[in-house]
C-alpha cells in the first residue's frame, strides 16, 4: 500500500531489526540514501544491516560507513523490516531479495516504479531518493550529523548532475543549502567524485579518436563515440561522463555512446538536446527519458552502430 | 567610502543616467551581474548603458541583453553614476575607466579589492558578485524577471564551479534555489555553458598527450599539461576546464597548465588538493588562493616548465 512520509517514519521507528538495500550498479543516490538511513537508524540503538548484491564503486568509498556494506549472505535473513531504497522493482536489488524475508518498505523517486513492495513511498517529482530520506529526517526532527549530511548531499547532487539536469528544482537546491548548513562540504564531495584513475585520463585520447559526426540538415548533427571491448576493459569500465564529449559539441542534437560489453552485446547510451531519444531507445527495446535514454543491442558493434545511427538520422530528418 | 546594501540601492535609485561596466576577460559573474543590473535599472525608465573593453565570449551570448553591450566609445561619457561590477581595481576595466567620467560605485566580492571607488560595497564572503546584486534586488523588492534570474543564476553558478568549489556556501545554494523559483533553468544554462566548438573536442587528444606526471614521494604527484602557442591558437583559447584533467587524477596533489601566450610569455595555472599553490604562484610574481593560483613567466616554455615543476617538487618534498 502507498504510505506517507509520516507512515514511512513510523515503520522505521517501530522496527528494531532492519535490513537496508538498494539497486545493483549502485550510484550516489543509492549509496548516499542507504548510508544516511543506516546512521539514522543505528543511532537509535536498532540492529541494522546494509546488504547490496554488488561492490561499492571506488568513487563512493569516501562516504562514511561504506565499509560496513555487506554482500548477500547464503543463509536467509529475517529482520522486522526490509527497506528497499532507490529501486523501482525488486529485480534491481539482485540476490538480496531472495535472501531477506520481511515486509518491504520501498522508498523511491523513479516514475517507472512498479509498486512491488508491501509499503511504498514514491515521489517522482523528487530529483533523488536522498531528497525523500531528508524529508523523513526533517519530519522526525532527526539529529543529522555531518556524515549524514554528506551522504544526502552526495545522493542529491549526483542524481541531478551536480545541479545541471532538468530535475534540479528550487527544492533540490534548498535541500542542498540546508545540508551544507548541516556540515556537507560541496568541494570535498566533488573532489572525491571527480577523482579518476590515471589510466582513464591517459586513455581518453583513444576514446576521443572514435568521435564520429553525422550531418543531419538544419545544422543538426549526430555525434558518437565507440568503446570497443578492449578499450572498455583498459578503462576498467570507468566511462562516467564520456557521453558529454559528443553531447557538448556545438550543433550536436543526438549524442551516442556505443559500448561493446561483449560480442553481440552492445550497450547504447543516448543523449539529446531537442530530440526525444526515449523513442529511439524504445524502438530497440530500451527506455529512459526524452533527453537521456539507453538500450542494449544483440548485434555486432558495426551492425549496432549502423542500426542506431540510421534510426537517429531518420528521426532528425523527420523533424522530431 | 564603504557603503551598505541599502546605500548602494539608494545610489542606483537616485541616478537617472548610469553606465555599467565590468572587468576585461569577462566571466559569467561579470556578465550575469551586469545584465541583471541593466534590466533592473532600464525597467525603471533610466538611461542605462553597458560598456566593456572586451568582446562577450561565445559561451555567454545566450544571456538576454548581451547584444546591447557596447565597446568603449571615443568621446567621453558623463553619466550620473558609473557602476563597476566584479572588478577589484580600476585597471581591470581597461579603457572604460578613461572614457567614463562620473562618481564610481564599485560592487565586488574579491578579497583583493583595492577600494578605488568613490563608493564601495564589498563582501568577500559572497561566492559571486551576483549574490550581492541579488541581495540589492531583494532589499528593493525588485520585480525579478526570468531573464534577470537566469543572469544571476549564471553569475553565481559560474563563480562557484556549479556548486563544486569551496566558496559554495549554504547561502549560495539558497540564492540559487530562489532564482530557480523565479524562472532560472539550471539545465538550459548549463547546456549553454557546456557547449564547445567541435575543434575543442577534436583537439583534446593532442592536449592530453602532453600530460606529464612527476612522483614526489608519499604517493603524491605533480601533473601538468602544456599548450604550445600553436595548440592554443588551434583551440582559439577555449581552454576552460582543461586543468581539471591533470587535477582529477588519483594521487595528484599539484596540477599545472602551461600556456605559451607568446615566446617568453608563459601563463601558468596552478591547482592543488592539499598544497598551498598561492605560495608557489607568489614566488613567480603571481597570486591567487591556496587551491587555485596562477602566474606569468617571462622565459621560454621549456625553461618555465623546469622552473615551476622544480619549485612545486621542492614544496611537496618539504611537506607543505
- pLDDT tens per residue, range A270-287: 999 889 999 999 999 988
Over range A179-193, report the average pLDDT.
97
Q: Three cell numbers at B132?
A: 550581492
Average of per-residue pLDDT across B58-73: 97
Q: Output the pLDDT for position B49.
A: 98
Do A281 and A294 contact (CB within 8 A), yes or no? yes
- pLDDT of res. B236: 82
Chain centre to alpha carbon of residue B224: 22
Pick the CATH number of A5-194 from 3.40.50.300, 3.40.1440.10, 3.30.1360.200, 3.90.1640.10: 3.90.1640.10
B292 pLDDT above the threshold of 90: no
Label residue A220 by pLDDT band (50, 70, 90).
confident
Residue B264 has pLDDT above 60, yes or no: yes
Mean pLDDT, residues A99-113: 95
pLDDT tens digit sequence for A301-320: 999 999 999 999 999 988 74
Domain extent listing, chain A: 5-194, 198-317
- Tell me which of A35-44, A174-183, A216-225, A266-275 is least confident: A216-225
Task: Give the minimum alpha-carbon distance from B71 to chain A in angstroms, rounded to a whole number.
Answer: 27
For A196, the closest chain B residue by CA position comes to: B249
Per-residue pLDDT, B130: 98
Q: Which of B165, B198, B245 comes nearest A187 by C-beta?
A: B165
Of A39 and B292, the structure prediction assigns the larger pLDDT to A39
| Per-residue pLDDT at A1 | 96
Considering the four listed CATH numbers 3.40.190.10, 3.40.50.720, 3.10.310.30, 3.30.70.1350, the one that applies to the domain covering A198-317 is 3.10.310.30
Among the residue ranges A94-103, A188-197, A235-244, A251-260, the one predicted with the least confidence is A235-244
How far is it, in rounded angstroms, from Cα B25 to Cα B30?
9
Calpha distance A44→A171 (Å, rounded): 28
pLDDT at B288: 80
Between CA B307 and CA B303 the distance in angstroms is: 6
Q: Is A319 helix (H, G, I), strand (E, B) or coil?
A: coil
Instruction: Test B177 with A173 for CB contact under 8 angstroms.
Output: yes
Mutate which: B186, B225, B290, B292, vs A, most A CBs within 10 A: B186
- Residue A103 has what pLDDT? 98
Classify each residue of B283-314 as buried b or exposed e, where b means 16 or more C-beta atoms within 10 Å of its C-beta: ebebebbebbbbbebebebeebbebbbebbbe
Q: How confident is the model at residue B111 (pLDDT cuts 50, 70, 90)?
A: confident
Confidence of residue B28 (pLDDT cuts 50, 70, 90): very high
Above pLDDT 90, what percent of chain B? 89
Q: How large is the average pLDDT for residues B196-204? A: 93
CB of A202 less than 8 A from some CB of B: yes
With bands split at pLDDT 50, 70 and 90, how would you rate the model's confidence at A183? very high
User: Ranked by mean pLDDT, which of A286-300, B176-190, B240-254 comes out on top?
Assistant: B176-190
CA distance B256 to A293: 37
Could you tell me which residues are beta bridge partners of residue A51? A70
pLDDT, averaged across chain A: 95
Q: How far is CA A24 from CA A89, A111, A158, A292, in A?
A: 11, 18, 16, 20
Average pLDDT over residues B3-15: 97
**Mean pLDDT score, A153-181:** 96
Q: What is the pLDDT of residue A233?
A: 92
Q: Percentage of chain A with pLDDT > 70?
A: 99
pLDDT at A32: 98
Which of A152, A173, A250 is the best mutation test for B, with the most CBs of B within 10 A? Answer: A173
Angle among Cα B111, B113, B115 to the nearest 5 degrees reads: 135
Biggest CA pair distance of chain B: 64
Q: Are strands B292-297 and B287-288 parallel, antiparallel or unpaired?
A: antiparallel
Q: How far is B178 from chain A (nearest CA, A)?
A: 6
Question: Inter-chain contact B186–A176, Cβ cutoff 8 Å?
Answer: no
- CA B18/CA A24 separation, integer angstroms: 59
Q: What is the mean pLDDT of residues A238-262?
A: 94
Which ranges in chain B belong to alpha helices (H)? 5-14, 28-42, 96-99, 129-139, 146-159, 170-181, 186-194, 198-208, 229-234, 244-247, 277-283, 301-317
Residue B273 is given by DSSP the state S
Length of chain B: 320
Q: Give the strands of the sheet with B17-22, arranged side by side.
A: B47-50, B17-22, B81-85, B104-108, B119-122
Architecture in CATH of B199-317: Roll (3.10)
Minimal CA–CA distance to A131: which of A188, A96, A176? A176
Instruction: Give the mean pLDDT of chain B.
Output: 95
pLDDT tens by residue, A82-92: 999 999 999 99
The percentage of chain B sitting over the pLDDT mark of 70, rounded to a whole number, equals 99
Cα separation, A104 vs A30, whole angstroms: 17
Give the mean model confidence (pLDDT) for residues B300-316.
96
Is residue B209 within 8 A of residue A209, CB to CB? The reply is no
pLDDT for residue A238: 86
Amino acid at each position: 500500500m502507498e504510505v506517507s512520509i509520516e507512515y514511512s517514519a513510523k515503520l522505521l521507528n517501530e522496527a528494531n531489526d532492519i535490513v537496508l538495500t538498494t539497486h545493483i550498479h549502485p550510484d550516489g543516490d543509492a549509496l548516499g540514501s542507504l548510508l544516511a538511513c543506516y546512521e539514522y537508524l543505528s543511532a537509535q540503538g536498532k540492529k541494522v544491516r546494509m546488504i547490496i548484491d554488488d561492490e561499492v564503486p571506488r568513487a563512493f568509498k569516501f562516504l562514511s560507513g561504506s565499509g560496513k556494506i555487506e554482500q548477500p549472505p547464503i543463509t536467509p535473513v529475517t529482520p522486522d523490516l526490509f527497506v528497499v531504497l532507490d529501486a523501482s522493482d525488486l529485480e534491481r536489488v539482485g540476490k538480496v531479495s531472495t535472501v531477506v524475508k520481511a515486509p518491504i518498505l520501498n522508498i523511491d523517486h523513479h516514475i517507472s516504479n512498479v509498486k512491488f513492495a508491501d509499503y511504498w513511498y514514491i515521489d517522482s517529482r523528487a530529483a533523488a531518493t536522498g531528497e525523500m530520506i531528508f524529508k523523513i529526517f526533517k519530519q522526525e526532527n532527526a539529529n543529522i550529523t555531518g556524515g549524514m549530511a554528506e551522504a544526502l548531499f552526495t545522493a542529491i547532487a549526483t542524481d541531478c548532475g551536480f545541479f545541471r539536469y532538468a530535475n534540479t528544482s528550487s527544492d533540490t537546491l534548498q535541500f542542498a543549502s540546508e545540508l551544507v548548513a548541516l556540515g556537507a562540504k560541496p568541494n570535498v564531495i566533488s573532489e572525491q567524485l571527480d577523482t579518476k584513475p590515471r589510466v582513464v585520463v591517459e586513455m581518453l585520447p583513444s576514446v576521443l579518436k572514435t568521435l564520429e559526426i553525422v550531418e543531419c540538415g538544419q545544422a543538426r548533427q549526430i555525434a558518437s563515440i565507440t568503446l570497443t571491448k578492449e578499450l572498455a576493459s583498459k578503462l576498467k569500465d570507468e566511462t562516467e561522463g564520456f557521453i558529454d564529449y559528443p553531447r557538448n559539441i556545438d550543433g550536436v542534437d543526438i549524442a551516442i555512446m556505443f559500448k561493446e560489453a561483449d560480442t553481440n552485446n552492445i550497450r547504447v547510451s543516448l543523449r539529446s538536446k531537442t530530440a526525444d531519444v526515449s523513442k529511439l531507445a524504445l524502438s530497440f527495446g530500451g527506455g529512459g527519458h526524452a533527453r537521456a535514454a539507453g538500450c542494449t543491442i544483440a548485434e555486432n558493434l558495426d551492425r549496432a552502430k549502423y542500426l542506431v545511427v540510421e534510426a537517429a538520422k531518420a528521426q532528425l530528418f523527420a523533424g522530431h
